[in-house]
Amino acid sequence: SAVTCPGFFFYYKQENIFDRSRMAPETPIKNEPVDLSKQKGCTPERSPITPVKLIDRPQPDPWTPTANLKMLISAASPDMRDREKKKELFRPIENSEQSDTPDSLQYDMVDDSTVDEFEKQRPSRKQKSLGLLCQKFLARYPSYPLSTEKTTISLDEVASILGVERRRIYDIVNVLESLHLVSRVAKNQYCWHGRHHLSQTLKTLQEAGELQYGELMNFFQHKEQDLEYKFGEQKKETIPDSQDRSLMDFSEPDCTSASANSRKDKSLRIMSQKFVMLFLVSKTKIVTLDIAAKILIEETQDTVDHSKFKTKVRRLYDIANVLTSLGLIKKVHVTEERGRKPAFKWIGPVEFPGKTTNLGTCAPYRICATGRQRFTCHTSFNSAQSCEETRRKVSSEPSSPHQERQACATETILKSARNPSVTSPLSLLSVPGDSDFCVNPLPQAVFPVVQTDVPSLSLPNGISSQPPHPSALAASKTENGKPTLLPNQPFLCFPSSSLFMLCGGLQENNLRESLLSARDVGNRNAGAQAAVPSAVCQKRSPHKCASPSAPVDDEEPAAKKQTMEQRDLPLSLVVSKKPLESPRAESTPGSGCTSAGHLEAFHLDLTSPAAPEASNKEPTKSLDSQEQEKGSQNKDPDEPSPEKAHISTESTNQPFLPQYLYVQSTAGLSSLNFLLPANQAPGAISLAANQLPSLSVPCVMVPPAALASFPLVCSPTITSPLPTVPDGSFSAATSMSFSMSSLASTAPLFIGTTAVVTPKVSPAPSVDPHQPAHSAQRLSPALPRSCGAVKLDSHVCMGHPVTLLKLQQPSSAPLTPKNIRPVHHEAFFKTPGSLGDPVVWKKNEGNQTRSASSVQRRLEISSSSPD
DNA sequence: TACTCCCGCCAAAAC
DNA sequence: GTTTTGGCGGGAGTA
């Protein structure tokens, strides 16, 4: 009941528990009967033993402080005797919980009156539940503490007070932390923030969730079985869990230390955020545990292990209990063919007025805007989340086209995340929804850097690439130490592996308009990144991460983008809105949000040009902002302003005609894949099959959908080719680090393969403009085109100078086998590297399995791959 | 029987 | 080396 009546619950808590605890934490203790035997945490003090009875006892009176006192008093004598029994029977926690919970139940239970009975009744498991414990915990603190007051939480103290072992407190705190209700300030010390930022956090999560899980959720909801099936496959194939993980890990490192990542990947916090995302993304707002577990497992796990599934479910229950205590969800059951399935329904806020940005501002927290990112305040979290998210995306890839697309998108994102060792930024970026947040950072990162090693290229995936890029860039930089930006250059070097989607012929007009408007808005979406910022900053710090402070702003943008509606859309930048078919896409213009169906599409879109509606929708918003940013960025091509890189957004409404050529590099990974606007004359792109000719493509590069946040480079039209940059300009460094921003410049992109480019690059694919439209989900060479989903913001690009991208194909060679994608198309967006044979990946990962997320692994690989 | 999820081992991470 | 964190899964309570 408490759950259902949050208000009441809280009120109650505050009145009673809270006051007690806070005001006099000790008193509570006293009140609480401590179970000497059980309570580990119980400090001797508490141990005092006052019989818990008091609490337990249901007194007629509501739990008011006074009532408590009465109880205590009354209990006094009996307590003593009962003590022993109670020890076992009642724990402080229980007691407190009961007391805490307004529920009549408690009273009922207790009412009996006699202590003995109580004892007999012995607290049931429920009474010991994490949910109740959490309620007690929450009761201790005000939901909306004064900004001025900072409440610190001592884990030990709380544990002792609540009469539980610290381990349990961690469970609670981790979940609360994921929502920014608390933040860790030091060992054993957390800071209570209350719900002030909850809406923002949720918003951010929602955005991120859309990007990451939008399609999946929809998909699942519609086809669980299929999905499952797919997932299984995907996991096997694509999910290089390790890679994904790696992403996460890296990302985290950004924020925190890399070391933490491994564990954090699986962190309850991240899981919590992801879980929340699922709700926020779900149209029905109902998420079954099995689906959630599947989705989450995919992300992290390589193999679909039943035991893992069970474990995941257990964790989800833990999280759900806390969320329930927060009044955000409630338990329900979904009846399906199979029968009744446990599920939870989101009963928390659905719309979030605020902008996500603020979160970032909140000192303690930061939301990593990135979809995948972690919202968690802690840097570590943020990064981790992002990574994880990305991973998930990747992993989650559905076998089905849609799924694939999505997967691709996610993968790309993930990849991006991973790649950038730092990823976090990327990850952030990648997330479309987050895009806002991400935007700034990414761009920065993105800049044209030439990375030699960067394996990851987010680009490839287009969307994903974007986010990744930044990170990638960063990563490359860090890794190489030379993230070289290409000064001024309009070029970007892409790692061979990367895939690019180029889109041409987007609705430039629309975009432009949107952009303009966007500009007007002045959003600098930079702000958008807010959430991301922190994370980004950390990661990016080098760049510009806009100061975290920015977050606020960022959030706003994000918020804008992803207003409820939009959020539906997968942000994916990818969005290209309607690629070729725009017509279909068309529709949803404003909706931005793509319906579930869209979602799927959008992912796909990201990858595939075609991605119609979904992409459209999303793009609209985010794109606009992005575009705007781009525009700005473009202004300074040279400088990669963080924000610059944007994905152009299209007006959602307007369908685009995306025309793409998907150029696939041969080896899948190694080679680049891009989409060239169909419009262009094929000739324009002269890709020798073997080499990489520098291409001038008046196309837009569309980063992965995720990019939304990132700058996309779009060249709407195929303008005349840009001046080609000398291939040589880009060193073989394959890194594609092109900064998104630079790309963002939107100027038409010029893609030139470096001389180095290996012939592998399969131009051929590129040749087919048409194909692209379809699914390009697969990076695999075979699938070249699929990528179409790019979102273009041609407009943006249009005006701008052309960007030259050079593709390197570094000998793509080296592509690690991993990179090479197996036949599976599922991999879609994965960067070439990511694409690698799943099997291989797995193998590679094998060792890492646990610690490193697949993403991470990927990253690692990629990083090495450069080799 | 299936669902829940408490409990605490134990290892990674952080001191 | 010690302490803090927290992943993990056995297994018991519930429905």
Compute the distance between CA of residue A423 and CA of residue A441 in angstroms, rounded to an integer.
11
Determine the distance between A187 (CA) and C3 (C1') in angstroms: 10
Kindly state the greatest CA–CA separation across chain A.
94
Q: Give me the CA A308–C1' C8 separation in Å, rounded.
A: 9
Q: Nearest nucleotide (C1') to the CA of residue A260?
A: B13
Residue A287: pLDDT above 80?
A: yes
Nucleic acid strand C within 7 Å of A374 CB: no
A706: confidence class by pLDDT, cuts 50, 70, 90:
very low
CA A72 to chain centre: 48
| Distance separating alpha carbons of residues A551 and A557, to the nearest angstrom | 10
| Contact, A120 CB vs strand C, < 7 Å | no
Q: CA A342 – C1' B3 distance (Å)? A: 8
- For residue A345, the cross-strand partners are A286, A330
Contact status, residue A535 vs residue A254, Cβ threshold 8 Å: yes
Q: Does the C-beta of A333 come within 7 A of strand B?
A: yes
The residue lying closest to nucleotide C9, measuring its CA against C1', is A311
- Is residue A270's pLDDT more than 50? yes
Contact, A173 CB vs strand C, < 7 Å:
yes
State which residue has its Cα closest to the C1' atom of C3: A187
| pLDDT tens-digit readout, A28-54 | 333 333 333 333 333 333 333 333 322
Q: Which residue in A149, A140, A129 sits closest to A13, CA to CA?
A: A140
Q: How far apart are the C-alpha atoms of A383 and A373, rounded to whole Å? A: 6
Nucleotides of C under 7 A from a protein CB: 4-11, 13-15
pLDDT of res. A264: 61
Residue A134: pLDDT above 80? yes
Residue A204, CB, strand B, below 7 Å? no
Residue nearest to nucleotide B12 (CA to C1'): A263
Q: Helix or strand or coil: residue A502? A: strand
pLDDT per residue as tens digits for the range A135-151:
888 888 888 888 777 78
Counting residues of chain A whose pLDDT is more than 90, the rounded percentage is 0
Per-residue pLDDT band for A552 (boundaries 50, 70, 90) equals very low
* Contact yes or no for A647/A435 (Cβ under 8 A): yes
The protein residue nearest B15 (Cα–C1') is A187
Could you read off the pLDDT of A649-691 as tens digits, one per residue? 333 333 333 333 333 222 223 223 333 333 333 333 333 333 3
Distance A125 CA to C14 C1' (A): 9
From the CA of A18 to the C1' of C1: give the distance in Å. Answer: 39
Protein contacts on strand B: list nucleotides below 7 Å from a Cβ: 3-10, 12-15
Beta bridge mates, A803:
A749
- What is the separation of C-alpha A725 from the centre of its chain, rounded to a whole number of angstroms? 35
More confident site: A171 or A21 = A171
* Between A216 and A854, residue with greater pLDDT: A216
CA A343 – CA A325 distance, rounded (Å): 16
pLDDT band at A168 (very low <50, low <70, confident <90, very high): confident
Beta strand spans in A40-134 (E)? none
| Residue A164 pLDDT > 70 | yes
Query: Which pLDDT score, from 0 to 100, does residue A205 have?
Result: 84
In angstroms, the CA of A849 and the C1' of B11 are apart by 15
Confidence band of A392 (pLDDT split at 50, 70, 90): very low
A379 vs A385: CA distance, rounded Å: 10
Task: Give the mean pLDDT of A94-108.
Answer: 37
Distance between the alpha carbon (CA) of A761 and the C1' atom of C4, Å: 51
Strands A340-346 and A484-485: unpaired
How far apart, in whole angstroms, are the C-alpha atoms of residue A589 and residue A55? 57
Give me the pLDDT at residue A529, please. 33
A659 in helix, strand or coil?
Answer: strand
Q: In what order do the strands lie in the sheet with A340-346?
A: A286-288, A340-346, A329-335
Per residue in A786-836, pLDDT tens? Answer: 333 333 333 333 333 333 233 333 333 333 333 333 333 332 233 333 333
- Alpha-carbon gap, residue A639 to A119, rounded angstroms: 71
**8 Å CB contact between A297 and A411:** no
Which nucleotide's C1' atom has the smallest distance to the CA of A264? C6
Q: Is the CB of A690 under 7 A from strand B?
A: no
Which residues from 260-279 of A have any strand B atom under 7 Å from their CB? 260-263
Q: Is A620 (CB) below 7 Å from strand B?
A: no
pLDDT at A123: 64
pLDDT digits (tens, 9 = 90+) for A460-484: 232 333 333 333 333 333 333 333 3
Q: Which of A646, A736, A695, A722 is nearest to A451 (CA)?
A: A736
A720 touches strand B (CB under 7 A): no
Q: Residue A168 CB closer than 7 angstroms to strand C?
A: no
In angstroms, the CA of A130 and the C1' of C13 are apart by 14
Q: Is residue A153's pLDDT more than 60?
A: yes
A441 has a pLDDT exceeding 50: no
- Closest CA relative to residue A132, chosen from A104, A94, A91, A86: A94
Compute the distance between CA of residue A558 and CA of residue A437 in angstroms, rounded to an integer.
6
Task: Taking each helix axis as running N to C, give the angle between helix A379-396 and helix A531-540, from 0 to 180 degrees, rounded to the nearest 10.
Answer: 100
Instruction: State how far the Cα of A51 lies from the Cα of A16, in Å rounded to an integer.
Output: 19
A532 vs A553: CA distance, rounded Å: 11
Residue whose C-alpha is closest to residue A362's, from A375, A351, A380: A375
Provide residues 283-322 of A with CB closer than 7 Å to any strand C atom: 307-308, 310-311, 314-315
Distance A346 CA to B3 C1' (A): 20
- Could you tell me which of A424, A443, A421 has the C-alpha nearest to residue A380? A424
A566-612 pLDDT, tens digit per residue, is 333 222 222 223 332 333 333 333 333 333 333 332 232 222 333 33
Q: What is the pLDDT of residue A214?
A: 66
Give the residue nearest to nucleotide B13 (CA to C1').
A260
- Give the model's pLDDT for residue A779: 31
When pLDDT is averaged across residues A356-382 and rounded to a whole number, the result is 34
What pLDDT, on the 0 to 100 scale, is given for residue A265? 59
Distance in angstroms, CA of A124 to C1' of C13?
Answer: 8
Q: Tell me the nt nearest to A187, Cα to C1'.
A: C4
Distance between the alpha carbon (CA) of A472 and the C1' atom of C6, Å: 30
Dist CA A284 CA A83 (whole Å)? 48
Q: What is the mean pLDDT of chain A?
A: 44
- CA A271 to the chain's CA centroid: 11
Instruction: Determine the distance between A357 (CA) and C5 (C1') in angstroms.
Output: 29
pLDDT of residue A724 exceeding 60, the answer is no
Nearest to A396 by CA among A243, A274, A294, A264: A294
State whether the beta carbon of A121 lies below 7 angstroms from any atom of strand C: no
Q: What is the DSSP letter of A32?
A: S
Whether residue A413 has pLDDT greater than 80: no
The C1' atom of B6 and the CA atom of A94 lie apart, in whole Å, by 13
Q: What is the pLDDT of residue A219?
A: 64
d(CA A332, C1' B4) / Å: 13
**Comparison of pLDDT for A429 and A309, the residue scoring more:** A309
* Helix or strand holding residue A508 (H, E): helix A508-521
C-alpha A176/C-alpha A856 separation (Å) is 26
* Cα distance between the two ends of chain A: 59
Give the full edge-to-edge strand order of the sheet including A151-154.
A151-154, A189-192, A182-186
- Please check whether strand C approaches the CB of A340 to within 7 Å: no
Q: Give me the CA A609–C1' C4 separation in Å, rounded.
A: 49
Contact flag, residue A131 CB and nucleic strand B, below 7 A: yes
**φ, ψ dihedrals at A803, nearest 5°:** -105, 145
Residue nearest to nucleotide B11 (CA to C1'): A263
Residue A204 in contact with residue A180, Cβ under 8 Å? no
Q: Which residue has the higher pLDDT, A352 or A845?
A: A352
